[in-house]
Amino acid sequence: MAHEGLWEQLEKLDGISTAKRAKCQYLSDHRRYIITLLNTKYAVDISDRNIFSVQPGSPQKPAKFLEQLCLLAYLINAQDLPPTNKLVSAHALPSGQFFFRGFHSIPTEKLEKIFGQHPRQLLKSSKLFDAKECEFGDASIQLYVLPRIPLTIVIWGQCEEFDARASILFDQTASSELPLDALLTAVNLTVEALTKAATESS
C-alpha cells in the first residue's frame, strides 16, 4: 500500500487532538478526518486507509498519490500555531537553502511561462481556490493549500527591460506544519492547479 509508513504513524495519533492541530474535522464514529486541500474536501479514512474527495454535488474520487502524501504528512506534523504573517522564501526556512535546489527547486518557471505575459490572469485563475489578492508585484495572491499552509504567489510581468519573474513565499511557520519534502509537494500541486486553471480558461 502507498504511504504505509505514514498511515502507521497517523493511526497511533489521537483523532481529536490531531484535528485541532491540523485545523480540520474528525468524525470519531467513522475514524475519519475531513480536511481541505486546495479547496477540495477530502475524507481521510483511518479504518480502511483510504482517501477520497467528498465535495458536495460531485462524485467521490480517490486522492492521487501526491495528494495522499500531502494530507497524511500534514495530519501527522501540523502544529496548532497561528501564522506569523512574516513572509519568507523557501531558502529562508530551516534547512531550506540546502533542500530547495536542483531537483527540489521551487517551480517558479512554470508560473513565469503561464502568467508572465498577463500577470492579472493569476487573479482570475486563483478564484477557484478562494485566493485573496495581495499588493506585491504586478499581480499577487495568497491561498491556503492546507488549513495552516498559506502560500503567497507573486508575478512580475515581462517587459522590454526584464524577463517575467515569479516568487512563492511562505509564512515563517510553514516548516513547522509540514516536512520540506511534503511542503514542496504542496507547492507543486498548487502550481499545477493554477496553471491548469489558466490553460482551461484561455
What CATH number has the domain bearing residue 105?
3.30.310
Residue 56, pLDDT score: 84
Residue 181, pLDDT score: 96
Same domain, 53 and 130: no
Same domain, 133 and 185: yes
* In-domain check, residue 66: yes
pLDDT in tens, 13-71: 999 999 999 999 999 999 999 999 998 999 999 999 999 999 888 889 999 999 999 99
pLDDT in tens, 63-122: 999 999 999 999 999 999 999 999 999 999 999 999 999 999 999 999 999 999 999 999
Q: Hey, is 10 helix, strand or coil?
A: helix
Residue 113, pLDDT score: 94
Q: Is 31 exposed, middle or buried (0-12, 13-18, 19+ CB in 10 A)?
A: middle
Same domain, 36 and 96: no
CA distance 83 to 101: 25
* In-domain check, residue 11: yes
**Is the pLDDT reported for residue 1 higher than 60?**
no
CA distance 63 to 51: 6
Same domain, 118 and 22: no
Cα 117 to chain centroid, rounded: 25
Same domain, 73 and 106: no
pLDDT in tens, 167-192: 999 999 999 999 999 999 999 999 99
Cα 107 to chain centroid, rounded: 13
- Which amino acid belongs to residue 13? L
**Is the pLDDT reported for residue 160 higher than 90?**
no
Same domain, 130 and 51: no
Same domain, 20 and 96: no
Cell 474520487, located at residue: 61
Among residues 24, 56, 77, which one ends one of the domains? 77
Cα 47 to chain centroid, rounded: 25
CA distance 92 to 85: 15
Helices (H), the chain: 4-11, 15-22, 65-77, 96-99, 108-115, 121-125, 174-177, 180-201
Q: How many CB atoms are located within 10 Å of the residue 173 CB?
A: 20
Among residues 58, 77, 96, which one ends one of the domains? 77
Same domain, 176 and 106: yes
Residue 55, pLDDT score: 85
* In-domain check, residue 82: no
* In-domain check, residue 179: yes
Please count the structural domains in the chain: 2
Q: Is 84 exposed, middle or buried (0-12, 13-18, 19+ CB in 10 A)?
A: exposed
**Is the pLDDT reported for residue 202 higher than 70?**
no
Same domain, 157 and 114: yes
Same domain, 46 and 125: no
Same domain, 98 and 197: yes
Q: Domain of 64? A: 4-77
Residue 2, pLDDT score: 72
Instruction: Give the 3-state DSSP-derived string for 103-154, with helices as H, strands as E and coil as C.
Output: HHCCCHHHHHHHHCCCCCHHHHHHHHHCCEECCCCCEEEEEEEECCEEEEEE
